[in-house]
């Protein structure tokens, strides 16, 4: 493997060159993609040469943010074309791919709801059956009539 000398300027130029090609969302994703390809520098080399408080670091982060803004504007323009052409299926697919987490969750109809129940359904049904068995015939008829009345009013 050819050991290449990576200077601060060379790393900066490589990052600025690769940002539009790889379209990373964050600096960490950019570094992960670069490291996975093994054609460029590694993550430790990046952080040795470019410190988080340096102007080069800020320049790379701003380039990533600008690229993300460009991609979102491009996506919105494409979405406008799809809306103009009344292609609703394409709009849904586009939103499933590029939408926020809330939009993706709403489109998949898979809501992440966690709830804790103290009593299971079977236990509740056994309790109701035990209570109903204690009723006399008259009380049972009154209960059913009240229940029917309540259910019909809702």
The pTM of the full predicted model, rounded to 2 decimals, is: 0.55
Decide: helix, strand or coil at residue 72.
Answer: helix
Given a cut of 90, is residue 62 above it in pLDDT? yes
pLDDT at 126 over 60: yes
**Mean predicted confidence (pLDDT) in 95-99:** 74
The answer to whether 74 and 81 have CB atoms below 8 angstroms apart is no
- Looking at residue 118, what DSSP letter applies? S
Residues 6+ apart with CB under 8 A from 23: 67, 71
What are the pLDDT digits (tens) for 8-41?
A: 999 999 999 999 999 999 999 999 999 998 889 9
Selected residue with higher pLDDT from 35 and 96: 35
Is 60 or 38 the better-scoring residue by pLDDT? 60
d(CA 141, CA 20): 75
């Amino acid at each position: 493997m050819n050991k290449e000398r990576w200077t601060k300027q060379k790393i900066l130029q490589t990052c600025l060159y690769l940002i539009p090609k790889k379209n990373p969302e964050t600096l960490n994703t950019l570094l992960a993609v670069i490291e996975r390809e093994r054609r460029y520098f590694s993550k430790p080399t990046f952080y040795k040469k470019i410190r988080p408080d340096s102007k080069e670091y800020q320049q790379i982060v701003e380039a990533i943010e600008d690229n993300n803004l460009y991609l979102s504007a491009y996506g919105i323009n494409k979405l406008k074309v799809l809306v103009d052409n009344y292609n609703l299926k394409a709009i849904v697919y586009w939103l499933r791919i590029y939408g926020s987490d809330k939009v993706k969750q709403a489109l998949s109809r898979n809501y992440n709801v966690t709830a804790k129940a103290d009593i299971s359904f079977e236990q509740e049904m056994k309790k109701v059956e035990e209570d109903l068995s204690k009723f006399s015939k008259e009380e049972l008829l009154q209960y059913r009539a009240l229940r029917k009345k309540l259910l019909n009013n809702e």
